[in-house]
Structure 1
């Protein structure tokens, strides 16, 4: 059972689904969009209600009554209205631009094969694991980031107030300054005189990212920068590979053909190296090559993945193998998130401690000379 992805791209070109922008909306709009967290809750509750024997419309009615935000109320009400008009559940989802082709085709296949309950369960598991990965990333980076911001403001305070105070004392007493002290004072003066330039540059960078984030060259450069970053790069690569195996697991479980599953996954995971690799894998499969053979050509995938997929192809156990790969990568991400946090925290503390110590030493060395002169 296949379907044409290119046609779907043309029909939904104006309202394509972007995971990166969705994640941003969860932060900036405080839940006004249909976030991944809401998707997890929706599919989990829907699965429980369907398993309890309720009809689809009755289950959606119950879910609708629990909604408090206007956006969510309108969303579920429109879906129910489409069902009343005789549309399939998948068609009702597709009519709402908050749902992706990924969800649409999964539900569509579930309807056609009589496995809708299983597809809904798989979607629930998919978004649960996706949210867990997101939480792991946040947990890994939040505490080091807090330390970095706190230390930055400490250094900022010293450069703005403490260093100028010492500089005035040295100037009044005509103390000969060591080289390092002169450099710190010059940096302090530059910051006081041109701090607005730094603010303009930061705002400019944010605007620049906003404008060019969708450009291929920007996505390619940013992905390369992330992958080359020590500790963070490998962790981020594992997260994206885990998302890939999760997506394929769900689609294979929903009886979506492998080729179509790869096409859908390309649109779901916005990460340039992985998308480019999947495009080449798609071409190889169309030429008659196996998935394992194609995956082994791309360095973004682990060699063990190619070996396990080869076994899956030989034993016709694709769903089981991809499910195991997802579990392995999820555990690996949890371990790496803890390790990343434990590594970054002391590194940041040591680095910023060295910066603050350098400023203090640079200020106190002339004070010793001053006390000698006074004596």
Structure 2
């Protein structure tokens, strides 16, 4: 929604002015006409004070899937492109998507193609979407492309959710365990320090170690929190800067336990995206350029960039892939076969199917294996702290007895 300042005359010819919130200039004129205002001047107010706050708002994969499925259904039912877009703009609950569709509808009515209109709304429609729509317009199969896009985003969403599910459980348990240990060391253990010091005898090494750790934690717990917060901010900054994101992605891919899962998910995403673009007749150089931007992993993106450079020289796409550790032999062999037989879209689709199943199985194995490990790890840490306090207590009871 945007705010507009208007000036005009009402039905009685009296000069009126004011402000009006509307989705577009066209919609604002319609509203004013319904109020009986003959518009003489209408101007959008660009100040941030008049704009809807959309800092944390975005179009999710789920929003896109719902939109694409409904859009395809309306077109198959015989509705025109513009009418379908306007209906969906009214139905969607996502404000960003609603505004984007309204603007796209206006652009199409003024003579722009669907792909040209969506390309102007890059904050709403990803490059992959726009380029596949462009290919659909050229081939006259928009409905088929929309169905293909919906399947693509559904698979991407499913794979992403599986990875998030596999990582979030140990992350949450780890954070809770860290909080429990910090609390015990900073606030519980120091309460026993005076009692043990009055005991007079030498304390067991484990008790002395835990007490020292507890005193340090009690004095510098705030520094630990600052370090954790600083690490979080640092990772967030690195993730936004391509110069550092490469090293962050490299470290994540080499990480024990989770690295293999992230590698499989990245390969599945790349293969599915390339397969969808190739099967929609998007030129190979343009397709690799799009995948480089949307794959979400800078290590993988660098190899794709090298593959595109290899294609520009008239060489094989698979050659840079064969030289890099991130691609298993299965992927490179399928790409080689696809290049030789002219069925690269089909081969990449098979690779994507294989690795999507691999991600599914890996997440299940990870959940099964990591739960007991986390429980045992937490039990050992808490057990050491309890034992460090209990052992001197038993000695005190024996002395008293």
Please classify the TM superposition score into its range, dividing by the shorter chain length: 0.7 to 0.9
Match of 1:48 in 2: 73
Shift of residue 301 of structure 1? 1.1
3-state DSSP of counterpart to 2:296: coil
CA distance in 1, matches of 2:207, 2:179: 20
Deviation digits for residues 121-170 of structure 1 (CA, Å, limit 9, x no counterpart): 12111111111011101221222223223322322332233312222321
Quick one: which of 375, 384, 389 aligns to 1:363? 389
SS of the residue aligned with 1:96?
Answer: coil
The higher radius of gyration belongs to 2
Tell whether the 8 Å contact from 1:247 to 1:265 is kept in structure 2 after alignment: yes
**Stretch moving more, 60-69 or 122-131:** 60-69
Q: TM-score, normalised by structure 2?
A: 0.82
Larger RCO (CA within 8 A; separation ≥ 6) = 1
**Does residue 219 in structure 1 map to residue 242 in structure 2?**
no
Could you tell me whether the CA contact under 8 Å between 1:252 and 1:261 is conserved in 2? yes
Confirm whether residue 138 of structure 1 aligns to residue 164 of structure 2: yes
Distance in 1 separating the partners of 2:209 and 2:243: 38
The CA deviation at 1:238 is 0.6
Give structure 2 stretches of 5+ with no counterpart: 1-53
- In structure 2, the CA distance between the partners of 1:244 and 1:180, relative to structure 1 (3 Å rule), is same
- In structure 1, the residue corresponding to 2:146 is in which secondary structure? helix
CA contact (8 A) 1:119 1:250 kept: no
- SS of the residue 2:240 aligns to: coil
Paired residue secondary structure (1:213): helix
Q: Tell me the equivalent position of 2:155.
A: 129
Aligned-residue offset at 1:72: 3.1
Q: Deviations over 1:20-64 (max 9, x none)?
A: xxxxxxxxx897211222111111221222222221112112212
Q: Distance in 2 between matches of 1:296 and 1:340?
A: 28
Of the three residues 276, 280, 287, the one matched with 1:250 is 276
Question: 2:58 maps to what in 1?
Answer: 33
The change in CA–CA distance for 1:230 and 1:95 in structure 2 (over 3 A counts) is same
How far apart are the structure 1 equivalents of 2:126 and 2:373?
A: 40
CA offsets 1:80-139 (integer angstroms, 9 cap, x no match):
111111111111111112223222211111111212222211211111111101110122
Match of 2:185 among 151, 154, 159: 159
Tell me how far apart the structure 1 counterparts of residues 323 and 172 of structure 2 sit (CA, whole Å): 40
Larger relative helix fraction: 1
Q: Which residue of 2 aligns with 1:302?
A: 328
Take 2:307 and 2:115, find their aligned partners in 1: how far apart are those partners?
28
TM-score by length of 1: 0.87
Change in CA separation of 1:97 and 1:257 when aligned onto 2, cut-off 3 Å: closer
Counterpart-to-counterpart distance in 1, 2:336 and 2:237: 42
